[in-house]
């Protein structure tokens, strides 16, 4: 019952998603929808890019649309790193929807941006079902969550164009079956690259940034 109803809401939202897609195509902006559990390291991933990306003029410029049920803590964290972020509070909703993202566009300087990262509400399930007009989704999974998550939450890991595995510095202290993780992920999504990140040491961040830069370059080449 609920599925049918959500589909009609989603059909309405598809119009907004299409409009967003058209705007970012025109502005040659790459938009990435970042999805992961609460505390999987989504904000920390964005923070970690600040030094690598902002400090270097040959890299892309980016802003963040921050989705949270409540508080402006994540946007404040990013602001402290000189990352421009627009905070959306969903006031209880478990995911972002395209019409909300479109409203956030008004606070962004779309003419001077290369990349927009959307940090979705911390949730491995619901955000996956909503098209925000993004170029692609990225799944963020932290090592302490466990290697069984791809098969237990398959929709996200099936759809994601890339997987970011965070908190790899905790591998010595938790049970994380890397072999099972790789096999399960491969069975769902053999194409998606996995970026293993230790955000305490900074390991892996550069590869992730290079991946985003490559996606941006491809999008612009295809548009020509």
Nearer to a second copy by Cβ, of 170 and 213: the residue is 170
- Of the candidate residues 137, 161, 167, 219, the single one contacting a second copy (CB under 8 A): 167
Q: Which stretch binds a second copy (CB under 8 A): 27-35, 79-87, 168-176, 212-220?
A: 168-176
By CB under 8 A, residue 169 contacts a second copy: yes
Nearer to a second copy by Cβ, of 8 and 57: the residue is 8
How many CB atoms within 10 Å of residue 79? 14
Distances (CA, A) of 84 to 29, 197, 212: 15, 23, 18
CA atoms within 13 A on the CB side of 40: 24
**Nearest to residue 52, comparing CAs of 212, 170, 219, 160?**
212
Using the CB atoms, write b or e for 93-116: b if 16+ within 10 Å.
eebbbbebbbebbeebeeeebbbb
**Nearest to residue 196, comparing CAs of 224, 216, 176, 213?**
176
Provide the 3-class DSSP secondary structure of residue 193: coil
By CB under 8 A, residue 171 contacts a second copy: no
CB 199 within 8 A of CB 48: yes
Mask: binding to a second copy, 11-50, rule CB under 8 A, as x and -? --------------------------xxx-----------
Mask: binding to a second copy, 119-158, rule CB under 8 A, as x and -? --xxxxxx---------------x-xxx-xx-xxxxx---
Q: Give the nearest distance from C-beta 67 to a second copy in angstroms.
A: 11
Q: Which stretch binds a second copy (CB under 8 A): 25-33, 62-70, 106-114, 213-221?
A: 62-70
Nearer to a second copy by Cβ, of 94 and 213: the residue is 94
CA distance 121 to 139: 12
Alpha helices of the chain — where are they, by DSSP H?
2-26, 42-49, 73-79, 98-105, 149-152, 154-159, 178-188, 205-223
Q: Give the nearest distance from C-beta 52 to a second copy in angstroms.
A: 21
> Considering only residues 180-209, where is the footprint of a second copy by CB under 8 A?
none
Q: Give the nearest distance from C-beta 186 to a second copy in angstroms.
A: 16
Q: Which stretch binds a second copy (CB under 8 A): 87-95, 105-113, 131-139, 203-211?
A: 87-95
| Footprint on this chain of a second copy (rule: CB under 8 A) | 1-2, 5-6, 9, 37-39, 68-71, 73, 92-94, 121-126, 142, 144-146, 148-149, 151-155, 167, 169-170, 173-174
């Amino acid at each position: 019952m609920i599925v049918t109803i959500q589909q009609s809401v989603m059909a309405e939202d598809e119009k907004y998603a299409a409009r967003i897609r058209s705007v970012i195509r025109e502005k040659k902006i790459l938009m990435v929808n970042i999805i992961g559990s609460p505390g999987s390291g989504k904000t920390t991933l964005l923070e970690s890019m600040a030094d690598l990306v902002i400090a270097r003029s040959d890299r892309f410029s980016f802003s963040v649309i921050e989705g949270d049920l409540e508080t402006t803590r994540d946007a404040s964290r990013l602001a402290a790193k000189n990352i421009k972020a627009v905070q959306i509070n969903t006031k209880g909703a478990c995911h972002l929807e395209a019409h909300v993202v479109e409203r956030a566009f008004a606070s962004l300087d779309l003419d001077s941006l290369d990349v927009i990262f959307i940090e979705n509400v911390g949730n491995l399930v619901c955000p996956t079902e909503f098209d925000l007009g993004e170029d692609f989704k990225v799944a963020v999974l932290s090592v302490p969550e466990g290697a069984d998550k791809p098969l237990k939450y398959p929709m996200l890991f099936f759809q994601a164009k890339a997987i970011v595995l965070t908190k790899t510095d905790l591998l010595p202290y938790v049970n994380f079956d890397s072999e099972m993780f790789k096999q399960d992920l491969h069975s769902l999504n053999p194409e998606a690259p996995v970026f293993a990140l230790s955000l305490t040491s900074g390991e892996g961040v550069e590869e992730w940034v290079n991946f985003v830069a490559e996606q941006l370059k491809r999008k612009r080449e295809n548009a020509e």
